[in-house]
Structure 1
Amino acid sequence: MKKLILIALAFVALQATAQEHKKSHKKGEHHKRMAMAELSANEIATLQTKKMTLILDLNESQQKDIQKINLKNAAERKAHMAERKAKKEAGTMQKPTAEERFDMQNKMLDKKIATKAEMKKILNSDQYEKWQKMHAKMGPKGKHKKKRG
């Protein structure tokens, strides 16, 4: 009987430490997102452009063009996040209606189409193909799918 109780206690202790490890892992991801949120739109765009330069082997004119696209997108994201944060703090944040969700989804897809067209103009065929594969890996949920794969 004592052995059974000891085994059960050991099992419970093992479960507790395993859950603690999972929580600490998620904290690291949260820290990374918070650090990115503190960067300016220009800094985020610069980092994204440099990552793309490494992956796609961009020349200088391509880097300048992509920097502009990344800066525009980062500024829009920053403005949207600031707007949401202000609504959340003011307590006026509400779930969007079906029509508002449709409009948001429609605008997002229009932006993606426009970005894709701009990238096609800037990149050569091999670079564009790599860029498409890079974005296809991210899937609809972005970063979450990328980390699993």
Structure 2
Amino acid sequence: MKKALLILIALISIEAIAQQRMERPDRKEMAQNMSALTPEESAELQTKRMTLRLDLNQSQQQEIYKINLENANKRKDMMTARKAKRASGDMERPSKEELLKMTNERLDHQIATKAKMKLLLDAEQYTKWEKGQSEMTNGFKKGMKNKKRFSQDRTSLNKKRF
């Protein structure tokens, strides 16, 4: 009986040690590292990821690199403008008209990118790309939903404490 108990304790302790999580870098750290990349580096990484996922040929890689570079430059410009605005203290919520304008610009850009991809990719690659885009969008929405729920849960906990 004692031997069985010792074996059981040993197995449980080994299992507990094996299940310890490896420490991952913080999301904010990862985001800062990614934002430190130049637009060329960012476009190259994204093109390589797409090449692996969609099995792109050389000419497709070159054309998609151009699209990714254009997107990365635009994203970098927007980030620097936002940082400058925040540093100057002029950071305000956009008005309804500005919000509508920004949303229309973003959607127009997405439509243009989708049209370019449809021309560059074959049918199978395009369906994979579209599926990946929808998964990213759904993942983002799900993350935002969880973030809202988490902040609401914390708010309700704080209210209960006082």
**TM bucket by the smaller chain?**
0.7 to 0.9
Secondary structure of 1:73's aligned partner: helix
Secondary structure of 1:139's aligned partner: helix
**Which residue of structure 2 aligns with residue 41 of structure 1?**
39
The structure 1 segments of at least 4 consecutive aligned residues displaced by more than 4 Å after TM superposition are none
Identity %: 46
1:136: Cα distance to partner?
Answer: 0.6
Deviations 1:53-74 (CA, angstroms, capped at 9, x unpaired): 0000000000000000000000
Cα distance between partner residues in 2 of 1:143 and 1:51: 22
1:53 matched to 2:19? The reply is no
1:142: Cα distance to partner?
Answer: 3.5
Cα distance between partner residues in 2 of 1:140 and 1:113: 18
1:109 matched to 2:107? The reply is yes
1:92: Cα distance to partner?
Answer: 0.9
Cα distance between partner residues in 2 of 1:125 and 1:43: 28
Deviations 1:31-86 (CA, angstroms, capped at 9, x unpaired): 11000110000000000000000000000000000000000000000000000000
* Max Rg structure: 2
Cα distance between partner residues in 1 of 2:60 and 2:76: 24
Match of 1:92 among 87, 90, 93: 90
Give the aligned CA root-mean-square deviation in angstroms: 2.1
- Matching residue's letter, 2:88: A
1:140: Cα distance to partner?
Answer: 5.8
Structure 1 residues 12-31: aligned runs within 5 Å: 28-31=26-29
How has the CA–CA distance of structure 1 residues 103 and 141 changed in structure 2, closer, same or farther, with 3 Å as cutoff?
farther
Residue 56 of structure 1 contacts residue 127 of structure 1 at CA under 8 Å; is this kept in 2? yes
- Matching residue's letter, 2:137: G
Cα distance between partner residues in 2 of 1:42 and 1:28: 25
**Which residue of structure 2 aligns with residue 126 of structure 1?**
124
Residue 42 of structure 1 contacts residue 74 of structure 1 at CA under 8 Å; is this kept in 2? yes
1:144: Cα distance to partner?
Answer: 6.3
Instruction: Give the unaligned 5+ runs of structure 1.
Output: 1-20
Cα distance between partner residues in 2 of 1:59 and 1:143: 32
- Matching residue's letter, 1:53: T
Instruction: Give the unaligned 5+ runs of structure 2.
Output: 1-20, 147-162
Deviations 1:84-103 (CA, angstroms, capped at 9, x unpaired): 00010010111100000000
